[in-house]
A and B are shown apart, each in its own frame.
Chain A
Amino acid sequence: MAVTRNDLEGVSRRAVLVGGAASGFLFAFHLPARAVNEPVQPPDRTDGRFAPNAFIRIDRSGTTTLIMPQVEMGQGVYTSISMVLAEELDADFAQVAVAHAPPNDKLYANPIFGIQVTGNSNSVRAFWKPLRTAGATARAMLVQAAAQQWQVDPAGCSTANGRVIHAAGGRSLAYGDLADAASRLPPPKDVALKDPEKFVLIGQPLKRIDTPDKVNGKAVYGIDAMLPGMKFATLGACPVFGGKVGAVDDRAALKIPGVRQVIVLDDLVAVVGDHMWAARKGLDALVVTWDEGANAHLSSNDIWEDLRAASRKDGVVARSAGDVAKGLAEGDRFEASYELPFLAHATMEPLNCTVHLTPDSCEIWTGSQVIARAQSAAAKAAGLPVEKVTANNHLLGGGFGRRLEPDMVVAAVRIAKHVDGPVKVVWTREEDIQHDIYRPVYRDTIAASLSNGRIVGWKYRIAGSSVIARWLPPAFQKGIDIDAVDSAVDIPYDIPNFSAEYVRAEPPAVPTGFWRGVGPNNNVFAIESFIDELARKAGKDPVVFRRDMLDKNPRMLAALNLAAERSNWGQPLPARIGRGVCVQPSFASFIATVVEAEVDEQGEVYLHRVTSAVDTGIAVNPDTIRAQLEGGLIFGLTAALYGEITIENGRVKQSNFNDYRMLRIDQAPKIDIHLIKSGEPPGGIGETGATAGPPALRNAIYAATRVALRRLPIDRSLIAVGNRS
């Protein structure tokens, strides 16, 4: 099954009618600005194609094309979404094709965000109801069309594998044969959804739709866009954040065979050539004097000092319960601060965008988590109305939040303004790492008190950048970043006196953005690290300590118990090998994770085994859930071991995989994922592993060495023998 190009015309023609609010915890808000997936146009009855809503197209030949409102970046969502749609539609799953959705904030808005975006592990959660409704509505219309043709009661008809069947009459019709007739019917309201007991697709480990082309080189990512007459460009922005181009000597660059032009913009230079090699060599040959500006002396140390100062101030209370002051006055009080570094995304596919700009049109090819935003950003950069911009989305070679930003599109359009004909702008890996939009630095301070082995007071303060305030301003209200406090306001434990507060502290100059695991990534690390420290103070086993505070959270408790059992929790281990546990109710999934790791005498860490137990509600595709946890754990463990972007003289020190390290296969642990059966609505899963890995590893190191690390990445010198802190 191939992933086809954007289904452009189908969408502009047809209307959508799906309702439903988001399920599960995410943001406790909905943007008031716009109803989601609203009808935009009356049905078009001219071509006999059945397009009952934004997601489903059935043509006369029976080809069923499902339009993907969420982008495929490896999380398997094209398959999961297709399964949900096909389940209610009773389509023949082997025959469905999928297409990338075109930019359209109305038709393809994510119901939780109110705009067209893939992120926050909410694709299945947010679209669960809307997609089921869309599938069921289309099915009802097809049944209606068949019943009319046969002159029978629709109630006597059933559907399966892309056919309407009238068992009593011994008749059946393929959906393709009904497309024309169905397209003339008005969509019914309030269709009934299937009883989950009757699901035939959902819950099965079906093969992914996008993978066959990914093993034979045929899959097309943004970076693979190829147009006749296309040129290739690469760019270099001022290495110092906020700096400008001073003087450029391009004589040597222009002498390189294949170099066509050198483009100098106010903050970046680009070289255009016949291929990336010429462009790259040309860029290296440019002699650029940068006007480094105000940040020329900025360093990580300054940023940390600022953040530490900010984190000592009171924040805005995001949630409180009981009487924190009183709670903290009881029993023994402890306090700790945890610090998390800037991180780059380093998606495997470097940033890129291809642009063909003419005086009155602009077409772009890229891979974006926000294709509608990319389209409007391109329009703005091109100085064209948005209708003049065609945006083609692609498979993403990794997103992780990086492709929630359209900066690579804007840069490419600005370059394309100076290029005659189409140009593909590909970032070098060095540029990708040095001009990322980074996971912010955070500092979390927790004060807690223990009485009778339980936590009776808990005061949690997050200090760090607000990505939401920049990225989705309407959602930043009353000084609280709802993402930054996610998993801190809804901590799983039963703590009588509680408060969580937020201090917005923007690092100077360094742009910050979402990174796989978003808010929970930060908060779960601090919370679960401190819980381990408290368990030790209380003289309790870390699992027992947690278990004792989870009596009101049965889903979390069940996951913890299962993970503990399957990881052989409590069984003795040799010296310098430890197990660490972490629980998290993030993204509406309940996950407990145990990492077993060894620390050698020099402080090198070896990952032995990871065991996760997960209750993510109804598991749409259990194999995808396992895969996402496996991959997410590696992602998080990579960050815990190595991830840190540092700033020196206003610029990022790291440059490529030699100094921004990735975990490799020979370091990967054995991973066991255990799914807990559940009838609850689906939770999010794509980011959970990234969140689970770091605290569980940190706690395993604590168990192995008795060194309480409070900072990531892990400082190996602190856990070497003879260097105990």
Chain B
Amino acid sequence: MTLSARSVLFPVVVVVLVVAGVWFVRGPGPMAFSGGPKVALADYKSNDPTGVPASLAKADLIARGEYLARAADCVVCHTSQGGKAYAGGLAFNLPFGTLYSTNITPDKETGIGNYTDQQFLNALHRGIRRDGARLYPAMPYTSYTYMSDADALAIKAFLLSLAPVQATPPANTLTFPFNQRWAMGFWSALFNPDTRFEPDSSKTAEWNRGAYLAEALAHCGECHTPRNLAFALNNRNKFAGALTAGWHAFNISSDKNTGLGAWRDQDVASYLASGHADGHGTASGPMGEAVDESFSQLDPADVRAIVAYLRSVPAVASTSLPAAVAPPAPASPREGAMADAHGKMVFEGACVSCHGWTGESSISPFATLTGAWAVNDPDATNVAQIVIAGTKRHAPDGAISMPAFGNAYSDGEIAAVANYVTARFGSKGSRLTARDVADLRKQTAR
């Protein structure tokens, strides 16, 4: 090979390697798995998968925007505990500091009152703030980027119809180099496709509606898809479950054992709409909030569409969950797992009155532990979090809640009771330590 050939080849190799590397790190897009031909929205012949359900088709822009804002679940992240809705200030505790959500009420100084349409789209689709600064991907713009311009602007119209709240969130406390917002430009260039939703013409209209809702609005993958080293979603393991903000977002791929594969359609729909499915437990934490603020308010047809879409996501087995959930525990406290005497002590005092020794609640199916992934998770992440923070659900029989024990029970006690609960009601007991519980406390958004 001549020198000149080499000198030509070398950069080519470098470019190929970089491209391959980027392709490898970036991985496939969230809907790549469907495999069918993608068409631009404008060219899609079937029912438009974007927008609002038929019942709202004639509603005004603000009402449509409200529905879409619900579906996109803006409120959960943009509201602090006890704070005004959409006024921001919720803290995300990351390993490298704390990030606070922004005020998205129409206040001109502290909110988004001065945003033009284009500025709003830049934020939602590209992660670029009005002043040009880069947003951190805690704002899921790599999902929202699939939202149609019309839907995004409907959401804007809704937000601008709210009462302005003057509120500035606390300053972020990220450490170097994470405090360098400009660096997010490179991250975005790599990981934000900056493209709108494209239906798969080989799929049904329902599937496409479900895909749009799940990907562009509900942003399921942001919690349920594991992330790569660059903190971007790794869609090779799409929906295979991940640890997010101190909670385990479980596997919602179609895996039979550790995903939704063995759930009936109505179970998945019920879980989304009410936060509970008999035999599968009850949503809490971030998923509970998503149910309260988003899924429970969606049109039933939209929930069905999401279910149809979830069904099509290829099975990826989780290694972190056992292959089968445990059956009910024995009725007698003398039988069954005895793992942790201290944990049993906490359980028999504070927990058994609702959850029972079998794990099947005599109070409400919503309090039944048997069959729930949380108690079958050998990391006991969510069990510990629920004990710390409590939970509240709106059951058909009225609201049902579990109080928070985190203020009065020590990390050691919470670890002990989590270990006891997972051993007794799950298929493999956890081995949480007091230190693990202390870490979990630190990770939750508040």
By a beta-carbon cutoff of 8 Å, the part of chain A in contact with chain B is 600, 602-604, 642, 653-656, 658-661, 664, 666-667, 716-717, 720
Q: Which residue from chain B places its CB closest to the CB of A604 in the assembled complex?
A: B412
Q: Which residue from chain A places its CB closest to the CB of B350 in the assembled complex?
A: A658
For A642, A654, A655, A659, the residue with the greatest tally of chain B CB atoms inside 10 Å of its CB is: A659
Give bound CA distance, A642 to B390, whole Å: 19
Closest 10 CB pairs of A and B: A658-B403, A602-B412, A659-B407, A664-B349, A659-B408, A661-B408, A716-B410, A658-B405, A666-B345, A602-B434
Q: Are A642 and B408 interface neighbours, CB within 8 A?
A: yes
Give bound CA distance, A658 to B404, whole Å: 7
Residue-wise interface mask of B (71-104) relative to A, using a CB-CB cutoff of 8 A (1 in contact, 0 not):
0000000000000000000000000000000000
**For window 400-433 of chain B, which residues contact chain A by CB distance below 8 Å?**
403-405, 407-410, 412-413
Contacts of A602 in B (CB 8 A): 410, 412, 434
Q: Are A603 and B410 interface neighbours, CB within 8 A?
A: yes
Known: A658-B350, A664-B349, A666-B348. A604 touches B410 (CB 8 A): yes
Contacts of A666 in B (CB 8 A): 345, 348-349
Q: Which residue from chain A places its CB closest to the CB of B349 in the assembled complex?
A: A664
Contacts of B404 in A (CB 8 A): 658-659
Sample of 15 A–B contacts (CB below 8 Å): A600-B342, A602-B434, A604-B412, A654-B408, A655-B403, A656-B403, A658-B390, A658-B408, A659-B407, A666-B345, A666-B348, A666-B349, A716-B410, A717-B410, A720-B412
A353 to chain B, nearest CB (A): 26
Residue-wise interface mask of B (380-404) relative to A, using a CB-CB cutoff of 8 A (1 in contact, 0 not):
0000000000100000000000011
Q: Are A653 and B412 interface neighbours, CB within 8 A?
A: no
Q: Which residue from chain A places its CB closest to the CB of B409 in the assembled complex?
A: A661
Contacts of A655 in B (CB 8 A): 403
Contacts of B410 in A (CB 8 A): 602-604, 716-717
A138 to chain B, nearest CB (A): 50
Contacts of B403 in A (CB 8 A): 655-656, 658-659
Contacts of A600 in B (CB 8 A): 342
Q: Are A604 and B407 interface neighbours, CB within 8 A?
A: no
Contacts of B348 in A (CB 8 A): 666
* Contact among A604, A653, A654, A656 with B413 in the assembled complex (CB-CB below 8 Å): A604
* Contact among A654, A667, A720 with B407 in the assembled complex (CB-CB below 8 Å): A654
Q: Are B342 and A653 interface neighbours, CB within 8 A?
A: no
Contacts of B434 in A (CB 8 A): 602
Q: Which residue from chain B places its CB closest to the CB of A664 in the assembled complex?
A: B349
Residue-wise interface mask of B (344-356) relative to A, using a CB-CB cutoff of 8 A (1 in contact, 0 not):
0100111000000
Contacts of A717 in B (CB 8 A): 410
Give bound CA distance, A600 to B412, whole Å: 11
For B342, B404, B405, B407, the residue with the greatest tally of chain A CB atoms inside 10 Å of its CB is: B407
A652 to chain B, nearest CB (A): 12
B437 to chain A, nearest CB (A): 11
Contacts of A658 in B (CB 8 A): 350, 390, 403-405, 408
Give bound CA distance, A602 to B438, whole Å: 13
Q: Which residue from chain B places its CB closest to the CB of A284 in the assembled complex?
A: B399
B25 to chain A, nearest CB (A): 42
Give bound CA distance, A656 to B403, whole Å: 9
* Contact among B345, B409, B412 with A667 in the assembled complex (CB-CB below 8 Å): B345
B338 to chain A, nearest CB (A): 15
Contacts of A667 in B (CB 8 A): 345, 349
Known: A602-B434, A716-B410. A659 touches B405 (CB 8 A): yes
B171 to chain A, nearest CB (A): 20
Contacts of B412 in A (CB 8 A): 602-604, 716, 720
Give bound CA distance, A720 to B342, whole Å: 15
**For window 309-359 of chain B, which residues contact chain A by CB distance below 8 Å?**
342, 345, 348-350
B196 to chain A, nearest CB (A): 39
Contacts of B342 in A (CB 8 A): 600, 604
For A653, A660, A716, the residue with the greatest tally of chain B CB atoms inside 10 Å of its CB is: A716
A722 to chain B, nearest CB (A): 12
Q: Which residue from chain A places its CB closest to the CB of B412 in the assembled complex?
A: A602
Q: Which residue from chain A places its CB closest to the CB of B398 in the assembled complex?
A: A281
Q: Are A660 and B349 interface neighbours, CB within 8 A?
A: no
A654 to chain B, nearest CB (A): 7
Give bound CA distance, A642 to B412, whole Å: 15
**For window 141-199 of chain B, which residues contact chain A by CB distance below 8 Å?**
none
Give bound CA distance, A667 to B348, whole Å: 11
Contacts of B408 in A (CB 8 A): 642, 654, 658-661
For A654, A658, A659, A666, the residue with the greatest tally of chain B CB atoms inside 10 Å of its CB is: A658
Contacts of A664 in B (CB 8 A): 349
Q: Which residue from chain A places its CB closest to the CB of B413 in the assembled complex?
A: A604
Q: Which residue from chain A places its CB closest to the CB of B405 in the assembled complex?
A: A658
A653 to chain B, nearest CB (A): 7
B79 to chain A, nearest CB (A): 16
Give bound CA distance, A459 to B398, whole Å: 60
A646 to chain B, nearest CB (A): 9
Give bound CA distance, A642 to B405, whole Å: 13
A257 to chain B, nearest CB (A): 12
B91 to chain A, nearest CB (A): 16
Beyond contacts A602-B412, A658-B405, A660-B408: 20 other A-B pairs, Cβ-Cβ < 8 A, are A600-B342, A602-B410, A602-B434, A604-B342, A604-B410, A655-B403, A658-B390, A658-B404, A658-B408, A659-B403, A659-B404, A659-B408, A661-B408, A666-B348, A667-B345, A667-B349, A716-B410, A716-B412, A717-B410, A720-B412
Give bound CA distance, A600 to B410, whole Å: 13
A605 to chain B, nearest CB (A): 10
Give bound CA distance, A716 to B409, whole Å: 10
Contacts of B407 in A (CB 8 A): 653-654, 659
Contacts of A604 in B (CB 8 A): 342, 410, 412-413
Give bound CA distance, A653 to B348, whole Å: 25
Give bound CA distance, A153 to B412, whole Å: 77
Give bound CA distance, A661 to B434, whole Å: 19
Give bound CA distance, A383 to B413, whole Å: 52
B391 to chain A, nearest CB (A): 12
B418 to chain A, nearest CB (A): 14
**For window 431-445 of chain B, which residues contact chain A by CB distance below 8 Å?**
434
Give bound CA distance, A658 to B351, whole Å: 10
For B342, B345, B349, B413, the residue with the greatest tally of chain A CB atoms inside 10 Å of its CB is: B349
A658 to chain B, nearest CB (A): 4
Contacts of A642 in B (CB 8 A): 408
Contacts of B350 in A (CB 8 A): 658
Contacts of A656 in B (CB 8 A): 403
Give bound CA distance, A629 to B335, whole Å: 36
Give bound CA distance, A642 to B403, whole Å: 17
Q: Which residue from chain B places its CB closest to the CB of A602 in the assembled complex?
A: B412
Q: Which residue from chain A places its CB closest to the CB of B387 in the assembled complex?
A: A658
A714 to chain B, nearest CB (A): 11
A348 to chain B, nearest CB (A): 16
Give bound CA distance, A600 to B407, whole Å: 21
A286 to chain B, nearest CB (A): 15
B341 to chain A, nearest CB (A): 10
Contacts of A720 in B (CB 8 A): 412
Give bound CA distance, A666 to B347, whole Å: 11
B167 to chain A, nearest CB (A): 16
Contacts of A603 in B (CB 8 A): 410, 412
A526 to chain B, nearest CB (A): 25
B50 to chain A, nearest CB (A): 33
B316 to chain A, nearest CB (A): 38
A162 to chain B, nearest CB (A): 48
A303 to chain B, nearest CB (A): 18
Give bound CA distance, A692 to B408, whole Å: 23
A43 to chain B, nearest CB (A): 57
Q: Which residue from chain A places its CB closest to the CB of B82 in the assembled complex?
A: A649
A721 to chain B, nearest CB (A): 11
A258 to chain B, nearest CB (A): 13
Give bound CA distance, A604 to B409, whole Å: 11
Contacts of B345 in A (CB 8 A): 666-667
For A600, A653, A660, A666, the residue with the greatest tally of chain B CB atoms inside 10 Å of its CB is: A666
Contacts of A661 in B (CB 8 A): 408-409
